[in-house]
Structure 1
Amino acid sequence: MRIALGVEYCGTAFRGWQSQAGGGTVQDALEAALARIAGGRTGVLCAGRTDAGVHATQQVVHFDTDAERPLTAWVRGVNSHLPDGVAVRWVQPVDEAFHARFSARGRRYRYLLLNRPQRPALWQGRVGWFHGPLDLAAMQAAAARLLGEHDFSAFRAAECQAKSPIKIMTQAMVRQCGSLFVFDFEASAFLHHMVRNLVGTLVYVGKGAQPAGWVDALLQMKDRKLAAPTFSPDGLYFRGPVYEPHWGLPEGGDEFLDGVLT
């Protein structure tokens, strides 16, 4: 049987999603909890790997198991064995053709940036921070230039293992809610550090260091060294993959993010 899970986590205390030597990752914690319920090792595959410090409101994973358990066991039971900061939100049996990563036709990210002179305390680790004033209209104009199919090499980390830097950006928006700037991105897929590099570049435009047209030049030159530095992981949230409706998976999972912005 193939099962899909929707998982949320706060990445502050973890070394990222992907399992690695020494443990301490979200995948390590989830697989250990699943093994307690399944009665044996249970490996999972995710929709999108996240770096250390990055959060997720709807990470989707799938796994195969012969263990016959009530569906509630994969939620309540697994959650009882997970550490603070990680929780299974939902469970759904899926067709064996479903793959959490390869069945996704898109992925969504949100970055929360606190813009005030003082660093965050209550939201430490949950938002990025920039101390100087930012021009919303300039950042919106720059973000609009990211839409469409582009070679995003200028926003790609050196260690990125993606086969191609060409991606299709279907959403690139910036809005302001008081002292909080909200960056929303949706694309066919993302390169390593791509969202954090995009936010860094938009902040450079917002603070007046570069014009909005700088984004066009960066896309054309395809040189990571010419773009802005990589922004902090603290404010980055993986909002989940986008699947075709026929898979029947729950949508949403953004109650937390949407609630703080109303």
Structure 2
Amino acid sequence: MRIRLDIAYDGTHFRGWARQPSHRTVQGEIEGALARVLGGDPRLVVAGRTDAGVHATGQVAHVDLDDAQTERMLSRRSRGPHRDPVEALAGRLRGVLGAYADATVTATCAAPEGFDARFSAVWRRYAYRIADDTTGYDPLERSRTTTVRAELDVDRMDEAARTLVGLHDFAAYCKPREEATTIRTLLEFDWRRDASGVLVANVKADAFCHSMVRALVGGCVAVGEGRLRVVDLARIRDDLVRVPEVKVLAARGLTLTAVGYPAADQLAARAAQTRNRRDRD
């Protein structure tokens, strides 16, 4: 039986998503809770592996349960508003993780046929928060906001961000990984100031390569500071060469906010298409 899990976490004290020996990771925490509730050795497949320090409010994963785990879940009498034992699993996991844990499971459900948390996804959305010298510093938001000691021009940053949208090779904005493609479709990229004056980037793509969002944000900050022109970000992208003016900003400002999937009858086809493309890469 395949279960979809919706997950949120404060990444400050995690060494990223992926399980690592001797390090605390989000995957390790959630899999540990699953093992305590259902037994066995559950393994999660995630929509997008986040780096150390990156947060999530809309992460998605799936787990395949064996017969014994499925029976253990279904035989448990549900308490509270959720009578469905699959939906009630989220509450049981939260109980194991703790009321004030920095990682939690917000919902669980039986995955539709063909669903794959990673390969069925059609887009991922991130937000990046920056407090500059025009805004006050909110200590309650310190774990998810990067501070830049400058006055940033959000209009120029927004204009520059929009020049990067589309299907392109983003090698200039990615940390290289052997045999990994850097071609991505950037669906949305824009900036605004929220009610408190904090700059917030909205970044949406079919997928992201390593450190891509934080490098894109770093390029926009260089524009906002006046170190680069609006037209330079697209030029740098098309030159396919990393430049020192584009800094990879801190992980603390980055949050995965949502993952998008197609209609249920298209999930399997999307997963097959994505796997084939990754195999060719």
TM-score of the superposed pair, with normalisation by structure 1: 0.89
Q: Distance in 2 between matches of 1:175 and 1:223?
A: 28
The structure-2 alpha-carbon separation of the partners of 1:8 and 1:162, relative to structure 1 and needing over 3 Å to count, comes to farther
Using the TM superposition, give the Cα deviation of residue 248 of structure 1 relative to its aligned residue in structure 2, in angstroms: 11
Matched, 1:190 2:208: yes
Which is further off, 142-151 or 89-98? 89-98
Matched-pair contact (CA < 8 Å) for 2:156–2:230 = yes
User: Which structure shows the bigger proportion of residues in helix conformation?
Assistant: 2
Secondary structure, in 3 states, of the residue corresponding to 1:125? helix
Using the TM superposition, give the Cα deviation of residue 91 of structure 1 relative to its aligned residue in structure 2, in angstroms: 0.9
Deviations, residues 41-95 of structure 1 (Å, cap 9, x unaligned): 1111000000111000111000111223212442111111225111111111013
Which is further off, 116-125 or 48-57? 116-125
Matched, 1:208 2:226: yes
Using the TM superposition, give the Cα deviation of residue 247 of structure 1 relative to its aligned residue in structure 2, in angstroms: 6.8
Which 4+ residue blocks in structure 1 deviate beyond 4 angstroms? 117-120
Matched, 1:63 2:63: yes
The structure-2 alpha-carbon separation of the partners of 1:180 and 1:58, relative to structure 1 and needing over 3 Å to count, comes to same
RMSD value over aligned CA atoms? 1.9
Q: Distance in 2 between matches of 1:37 and 1:11?
A: 23
Q: Distance in 2 between matches of 1:247 and 1:80?
A: 34
The structure-2 alpha-carbon separation of the partners of 1:161 and 1:97, relative to structure 1 and needing over 3 Å to count, comes to farther
Looking at CA atoms only, which structure, 1 or 2, has the larger radius of gyration? 2
Matched, 1:92 2:106: no
Secondary structure, in 3 states, of the residue corresponding to 1:123? helix
Gap regions ≥5 residues in structure 1: 250-262
Secondary structure, in 3 states, of the residue corresponding to 2:60? strand
Matched-pair contact (CA < 8 Å) for 1:115–1:132 = yes
Using the TM superposition, give the Cα deviation of residue 162 of structure 1 relative to its aligned residue in structure 2, in angstroms: 6.5
Aligned equivalent of 2:252:
234
> 2:169 aligned to 137, 141, 151, which one?
151
Matched pairs, number:
248
Aligned equivalent of 1:181:
199
> 2:92 aligned to 63, 77, 84, which one?
77
Q: Distance in 2 between matches of 1:62 and 1:247?
A: 18
Aligned equivalent of 2:82:
none
Using the TM superposition, give the Cα deviation of residue 142 of structure 1 relative to its aligned residue in structure 2, in angstroms: 0.4
Structural mapping, 1:23-62, within 5 Å: 23-62=23-62
* Aligned-pair identity (%): 36
Secondary structure, in 3 states, of the residue corresponding to 2:130? strand
Q: Distance in 1 between matches of 2:93 and 2:265?
A: 23
Q: Distance in 1 between matches of 2:200 and 2:178?
A: 28
> 1:223 aligned to 228, 234, 241, which one?
241
Q: Distance in 2 between matches of 1:203 and 1:81?
A: 41
Code of the residue aligned with 1:78 in structure 2: it is L
The structure-2 alpha-carbon separation of the partners of 1:90 and 1:156, relative to structure 1 and needing over 3 Å to count, comes to same
Q: Distance in 2 between matches of 1:62 and 1:100?
A: 6
Deviations, residues 213-242 of structure 1 (Å, cap 9, x unaligned): 111211111112345111011110011221
Using the TM superposition, give the Cα deviation of residue 36 of structure 1 relative to its aligned residue in structure 2, in angstroms: 0.8
Gap regions ≥5 residues in structure 2: 74-84, 268-281
